[in-house]
Structure 1
Amino acid sequence: MSAADGQKIAMRGAGYYSANTVGAKYVIDKVGDLVIEAVARMPRLADGLPFAIADFGAADGGTSMDMMRRLIGAVREREPNRAISITYTDLPHNDFSTLFRLSQGLLGTSTEAPLAETPGLYIFGSGTSFYRQILPDNSLSFGFSATAMHWISKRPCMIADHVQAVGASNAEREQFRAQALRDWETILLARARELRSGGRLALANFCIDEEGRYLGHTTGADMFDSFARHWRDLLRTGRINEAEYVNATFQQFYKTPEEFAAPFRDPASPVSQAGLKLETMFTMVTPCPYAEAFRTHRNAGDFARAYVPTLRSWSETVFANALDPARPPSERSAIIDDFYGAYEADVAQAPEGHRMDYVHCVTEIVKS
């Protein structure tokens, strides 16, 4: 894969992602109040039009399902008979089968009626990147996305001695920043075309906050440094080669709040000219639920066995796809298992420093 090629991005499937990303659900639940308040400020639609919702980068849909119930309830409280649609979007190789089974109550342990059984609710899936327009012009009432838009459209270069832009050289990081800023404008312009006048977006994106904190870097061990160290150990021992080491460059970038806000602060920018306005922006840190639980139970082994799978749920495809496809599948699987096994042993041995606190920039955007 060349530096300009897109990386295959996917969360681990078969329900693994939702089952092992409790923190991601906590983030969405925290943003739920903002979503409900935003709906209350929206103008009523003309008769006969559906209230169209989209979840951009939904993965298997499990982490946002409770928030969607709240959103639907807020719409129905104002307009009991309004038809509602939800379009779940993600990349073509996303596990949409699990998403539809979760929505229909065929997976999971929810005691509530399946989301798909809500009267007058119509659920769709779109295997289309949020870097493209997904819905027709002027059709979207409310767009939502959480913990997804840090994945950029392509890797502008490879990172020579780390796995993520937070640990890249200055020159490498600047290439990632430039790509991420272009991508942010692309995302916003696509949403501007989709949104109705008065429609809103609520987005919770990973960021580097005002104190320099980011995912897995709030205190103690830096998660991405740990990834890089264990991946480098495989190179040092000959388990992987140099090309495979470098190819585990995450197609990600964490923007600052200022970078998120910049397109809205320039009245001449394409985003402002498209009618989008930034109404609310704040950062928040959501504590790692596994590290918080460890503070109570104090069992290092249990913590490591619970914590590392949440990292694996979203990172495994990066490392697995970095390996030479000519390797036998069993060999590739063994390397990946050993990689995460080493990380788990590291956590079990020195648990105090490990935690994956979520650091988000939350934005509420309205189309005039």
Structure 2
Amino acid sequence: MAGETTTNATGEKAASFGKAHVPYGEDGSGHYTLATKGCFDVIENAKELCLEALNKAEKPNSSTTTQEQALCIADYGTADGGTSMPLITELIRAHRKRDPNGDVLVTYEDQPNNDFKSLFFYVQGIKDLGRDGYSKSYLEEFDNVYVTACGTSFHKQCFPSNSVHLGVSFTAMHWLNKKPCNITTGVHMTQAKGEERDKFAAQAAEDWENLLFHRANELAPGGRMVIVNFCVDANGYHLGYTDKSSVCMYDEFNRHWQAMMSEGKITKEEYEAGTILNYYRNDAEMRAPFAEGTRVFAAGLRLVSAETKITRCPYNEDYVANKANRDAREAAKGIIGTMRTWSNSSFLTALDSNTRTEAERKALVDELYGRYEDAIAADPEKNHMDYAHHYIVMEKVGQ
């Protein structure tokens, strides 16, 4: 997919800008935030870690320039920004207790084709998050807070060296910089075997070291960062596969995608091109770049803490708890809706744009999700998108 030009579901052209992901939904609609209830829960689970990181991060140097006086918070891989806004609000509120009038700069990073329009709608209070207890944006609540956005991939350096006091990233840095190969035994690296698995692991290791090195450069001495990243935990659990049931989300994706190939609706090449461009690191893979002797270590980045957590799929949880009053089809739509926000472009871009019209490709992808939705509607209780994450805290030692 690297270097390809593709067309997303709204007809806008987009290239594989490092993460090879095209946002799903109408630009400016805030679709990602509205369709991903679970992401709020994932970030809520990181709130205390982030507040502690802010408290322990070295304060801006008030004896230097105005820009250096401002507290700089950077949110990497932010999507449309909505899911992290309650946390950013809490961080600014906490900072105000130690610096009542100081400037705060919140800067958002994502790929160039990101839905920045929705991000600014949310931040400026033009669009409502639709969350209980969150009635206005932090720009409406606090003075001396400023917002910018960066359209450079986090696989590169995004901000000036020594400028970020607190970095955060939620469910983003599992996306790889490039595809090492197609996976012929499934749609995701958790299904890869042999040489294909090895190639994905090697690419993921290279990308993880590189992006941590860039964060080390960007963090100010004494700065901290919290990364919440998809993982494979010690039990072998990962996104869409936990102790909750025997149904694995990626096996289901593969079952329906493979059936469409068997029926002649897509080609073998298109089936294999549906490989999703991300990698879930295990604990050893996550920790490797922090070891003494690596360039990440030499750049001053240190691992403070790391743990794994399971966050339950809110759509499945709601159905199971209230199934006597819940419609199975609506439950299925909710689960598919959150899956589609991040996976749609992987299947859409797999279809041959030289031989298929945009409408044909979109219809085929709609069929894929329609098949999966039907399967979930038949038994919502055993279908879910539980989350498995590493919750990682790191700091840059003074230099």
The TM-score, its normalising length taken from structure 2, stands at: 0.89
Of residues 53-62 and 32-41 in structure 1, the stretch that sits farther from structure 2 once superposed is 32-41
Does structure 2 retain, via aligned residues, the 8 Å contact 1:3–1:156?
no
Q: What is the CA–CA distance in structure 2 between the aligned matches of 1:361 and 1:7, rounded to whole Å? A: 20
Unaligned runs of 5+ in 2: 5-15
Q: Alpha-carbon deviation of 1:2? A: 7.0
Q: 1:234 corresponds to which residue?
A: 260
Q: How does 1:89-238 map to 2 (within 5 A)?
A: 89-108=109-128, 109=130, 111-117=134-140, 118-218=142-242, 219-238=245-264
Q: Alpha-carbon deviation of 1:60? A: 0.2
Q: 2:375 corresponds to which residue?
A: 346
Residue 276 (structure 1) aligned with residue 301 (structure 2) = yes
Residue 321 (structure 1) aligned with residue 343 (structure 2) = no
Q: 1:15 corresponds to which residue?
A: 30
Name the CA shift for 1:7/1:263 in 2 (closer, same or farther; >3 Å): closer
Q: What is the CA–CA distance in structure 1 between the aligned matches of 2:232 and 2:23, rounded to whole Å? A: 22
> Match of 1:343, SS?
helix
Does structure 1 retain, via aligned residues, the 8 Å contact 2:57–2:166?
no
Q: What count of residue pairs does the alignment treat as equivalent?
A: 367
Q: 1:59 corresponds to which residue?
A: 79
Name the CA shift for 1:112/1:305 in 2 (closer, same or farther; >3 Å): same
Residue identity in the other structure for 1:39: L
Q: 1:304 corresponds to which residue?
A: 332
Q: What is the CA–CA distance in structure 2 between the aligned matches of 1:288 and 1:7, rounded to whole Å? A: 25
The TM-score, its normalising length taken from structure 1, stands at: 0.96
Residue by residue, what CA displacement relative to the aligned partner does 1:231-250 show, whole Å, maximum 9, x if unpaired? 11111111111121111111
Residue 356 (structure 1) aligned with residue 385 (structure 2) = yes
Residue by residue, what CA displacement relative to the aligned partner does 1:310-355 show, whole Å, maximum 9, x if unpaired? 1111110111111111312221121111110100000111223211
> Match of 2:162, SS?
coil
> Match of 2:45, SS?
helix
Q: 2:102 corresponds to which residue?
A: 82
Residue identity in the other structure for 1:113: K
Of 223, 242, 245, the match for 2:271: 245
Of 292, 295, 309, the match for 2:320: 295
Residue 258 (structure 1) aligned with residue 281 (structure 2) = no
Residue by residue, what CA displacement relative to the aligned partner does 1:109-163 show, whole Å, maximum 9, x if unpaired? 4653323333111101111100100110111101000100000101111111311
Q: Alpha-carbon deviation of 1:42? A: 2.2
Residue by residue, what CA displacement relative to the aligned partner does 1:189-224 show, whole Å, maximum 9, x if unpaired? 101111111000000000000111000011321101
Does structure 2 retain, via aligned residues, the 8 Å contact 1:18–1:60?
yes
Q: What is the CA–CA distance in structure 2 between the aligned matches of 1:165 and 1:308, rounded to whole Å? A: 20
Q: 1:30 corresponds to which residue?
A: 45
Percent of pairs identical after alignment?
Answer: 39
